[in-house]
Amino acid sequence: GAGVSQSPSNKVTEKGKDVELRCDPISGHTALYWYRQSLGQGLEFLIYFQGNSAPDKSGLPSDRFSAERTGGSVSTLTIQRTQQEDSAVYLCASSLGKRATDTQYFGPGTRLTVL
């Protein structure tokens, strides 16, 4: 079956603009995660959804970052007033969500470049 998909694959924007990044999880997966990966770095946890709710938003770097999930499926990560330090690859993952140890399946990521 289809894996996790993300769009767009690449996004170039100007400083100060808003961007929306989309994640389509694997069908039936109730848990969804967003991570940020800066060049040559590990993954930084941003936010986790169980269904449509996000029990823990503490990983979001600033109030310019927000995320939502509708219908227990698609999720959107929004970055307002983008800054150059927001440039990174944004990865989404989904899992069955029945246990915290369920395997996370990652999408290919969205590479965001802020000029």
Partner 1 sequence: GENVEQHPSTLSVQEGDSAVIKCTYSDSASNYFPWYKQELGKGPQLIIDIRSNVGEKKDQRIAVTLNKTAKHFSLHITETQPEDSAVYFCAASDFNKFYFGSGTKLNVKP
**Residues lying near partner 1 in the complex (CB under 8 A):** 4, 31, 33, 35, 40-45, 48, 50, 55-56, 59, 91, 93, 100-101, 103-109
**Cβ nearer to partner 1, comparing 24 with 107:** 107
Rg (CA), the chain: 13
In the bound complex, what is the minimum distance in angstroms from residue 15's beta carbon to partner 1?
A: 26
Determine contact, residues 105/32, Cβ cutoff 8 Å: no
**Cβ nearer to partner 1, comparing 63 with 100:** 100
Structure-block tokens of residue 91: 């990865």
In the bound complex, what is the minimum distance in angstroms from residue 34's beta carbon to partner 1?
A: 11
In the bound complex, what is the minimum distance in angstroms from residue 41's beta carbon to partner 1?
A: 6
Structure-block tokens of residue 11: 């996004």
In the bound complex, what is the minimum distance in angstroms from residue 47's beta carbon to partner 1?
A: 10
**Pairing mode, if any, of strands 10-13 and 65-69?**
unpaired
**Cβ nearer to partner 1, comparing 66 with 105:** 105
CA angle (62, 38, 69) in 5-degree steps: 50
**Cβ nearer to partner 1, comparing 70 with 103:** 103
d(CA 81, CA 19): 8
